[in-house]
Homo-oligomer: A and B are copies of this chain.
Amino acid sequence: MDTEQKTVDVSFENLLRIFTVPEGPDSTLTKIEEELSRNLNQFLREHIVAEEKPLKEIEKDFSNPTIPEQPSFVSDHTQHLLDTLVSHSVHTSAPSFIGHMTSALPYFLMPLSKIMIALNQNLVKIETSKAFTPLERQVLGMLHRLVYQQNDTFYTQWMHSAEHSLGAFCSGGTIANITALWVARNNALKAQGDFQGVEKEGLFKAMKHYGYNGMAVLVSKRGHYSLKKAADVLGLGQDELIAIDTDDANRLCPSALAKQLKQLQQQNIKVIAVIGVAGTTETGNIDPLDEIAELCQQYQCHFHVDAAWGGATLMSNRYRTLLKGIERADSVTIDAHKQLYIPMGAGMVLFKNPDSMRSVEHHAQYILRKGSKDLGSHTLEGSRSGMAMLVYAAMNIISRPGYELLINQSIEKAQYFAKLITHQPDFELISAPELCLLTYRYVPEKTRKALKVASGKPLAELNDKLNELTQFIQKTQRETGRSFVSRTQLNPQHLEQRDTIVFRVVLANPLTQNEILQAVLEEQREIAAKAPNLNKQLMSLTNELLKK
């Protein structure tokens, strides 16, 4: 598979070459890699087509379900990847891509990732990972201390103990949340008398043994969708995930939680866990963790905090108090691929008690033998890559104060943007930023006045029309490819809790400057003007309301 041959021969000799002979310095692949190493943003700007190609069109390039019978040259195929895949991928690290939690990466992580992949360790067991095992345990220890702030003796005793585990490194926050609830479920329905525990005998027998009428997991209405999935997978059922009301700032209402807990107790329904959200996906708000902790203590149930996104805030001495109470959680989910700026695929779940994960421990003959320090005996996943190395390197190279600066900067940028929006006559801030996430929408100046006097059906009609406009703006802006904000649906109290579509902005990219935020609003205003029919309808509803 050489660039100089004209056809590729399927011979064992040629195959051996792809395992032993690197791409030459002049090969397409090497050149691309160098280009990317020299200036990633330029590379992406040059290779990603700005204007969106319809998915239907892109699909044509990926429509053949047959594994090729003829090999390709590496260079030819690399060119093909550039033309069909890279060109129509998403420029997630662009400073104007402020719609999702995926952001720019520090440069040093690119070559380090290559080293990690070349080493191809499997962290399921020591025999295929050796030093990577203590490294991952240390990374879990670092994050554990960030959350729980135990003393040195604690970590000396438990961090490398074969029979204990401070947490699990996972592919992402969903697996982390499932792991936390798996542990919570198994500890809530553990062995007792003749009953061998839910892990052995299953949920049906567990419920019969304990005599409960049902189970429940409680989380605010703004909990992440993965929790529903977790409730399904774990056999609880989505209905047993109970949504607790939130206040106007999208935070769980402790009084509503208390009421629900009491009611469930009276109904003999076992609460497996209460989940506090530290950084809701849609609005970035943080539940009152201390008050939830109090209630969990009172009702003796597992307290899990889903801090997949907001957990990194603990790096900031200035803002970590926003998460006060997290140290009382039995388990915490943190995603390093969000605000810790690690590539996709680095979730973690941490457990306050190093004994917690015993309820999900498993062993086998050929690996994970009892007494071994194999990480795989406490993880939901089996084979896993050495991603922990990237977290470790970033912790050392950026350091806590470095992360603090990044976090503070993001939060303060969101505060700036919120103020900017508030100062516009034709934009409405829907949720103010607590972390670096906010939501807003475009509302023509006159319509804003109408909104203030509207209620009931006229408000509903006006709001529906604004929803159409928001959707149109978001979609057009995305397709134009200059900038990207996402959208979601909220139910704000000042809009009588009506379904309201909003722009959602996450300001985690350190490269996003204030001018870009100004330009985003300008562009949205321009796009809004390009929907004459919608605007006409909107104005007619507005005038109707203002006439009254």
Contacts and interface: CB of A to CB of B under 8 A. Distances in A.
A58 to B, nearest CB: 5
Given A67-B400, A122-B92, A381-B175, A204 B201 contact: no
A115 B86 contact: yes
B405 A145 contact: no
A77 B106 CA distance: 14
A199 interface: yes
Contacts of A182: 232-233
A130 interface: yes
Contact of A366 (B61, B152, B186, B281): B281
Q: How large is the interface on A (under 10, 10 to 19, 20 to 34, 35 or more residues)?
A: 35 or more
B67 A229 contact: no
Q: How many copies does the complex hold?
A: 2
Interface string A106-137: 11111111110111111000111111111101
B120 A100 contact: no
Given A18-B397, A110-B114, A360-B232, A127 B239 contact: no
Interface string A130-171: 111111011001101110000010011001100000000001
Contacts of A81: 112, 115, 389, 393
A200 interface: yes
Contacts of A175: 171, 175, 380-381
Given A160-B59, A398-B71, A117 B23 contact: no
B128 A90 contact: yes
A344 B384 contact: yes
A39 interface: yes
Interface stretch (A288-296, A442-450, A482-490, A533-541): A482-490
Contact of A128 (B44, B92, B108, B204): B92
A266 B1 CA distance: 59
Most B C-beta atoms less than 10 A away, residue of A41, A238, A402: A402
Contacts of A62: 131, 134-135, 137-138, 160
Interface in A38-91: 38-41, 43-44, 52, 55, 58-59, 61-74, 77-78, 80-81, 84-90
Contacts of A29: 108, 111-112
A401 interface: yes
Nearest to A43: B118
Contacts of A58: 130-131, 134
Interface string A179-223: 000100110000000001011111111110000001100000000
A36 B107 contact: no
A10 interface: yes
A19 B39 CA distance: 10
Contacts of A310: none
A535 to B, nearest CB: 25
A33 interface: yes
Contacts of A135: 62, 85
A510 B19 contact: yes
Contacts of A527: none
Contacts of A55: 126, 130, 133-134, 373
B114 A402 contact: no
Contacts of A240: 202
User: What 4 A-B pairs come out closest when comparing CB atoms?
Assistant: A235-B235, A202-B237, A174-B382, A225-B364
Given A67-B395, A198-B237, 4 more contacts: A20-B41, A29-B112, A204-B235, A345-B384
12 contacts: A30-B37, A61-B131, A62-B137, A77-B393, A85-B389, A89-B131, A102-B120, A174-B381, A182-B233, A202-B214, A233-B234, A345-B385
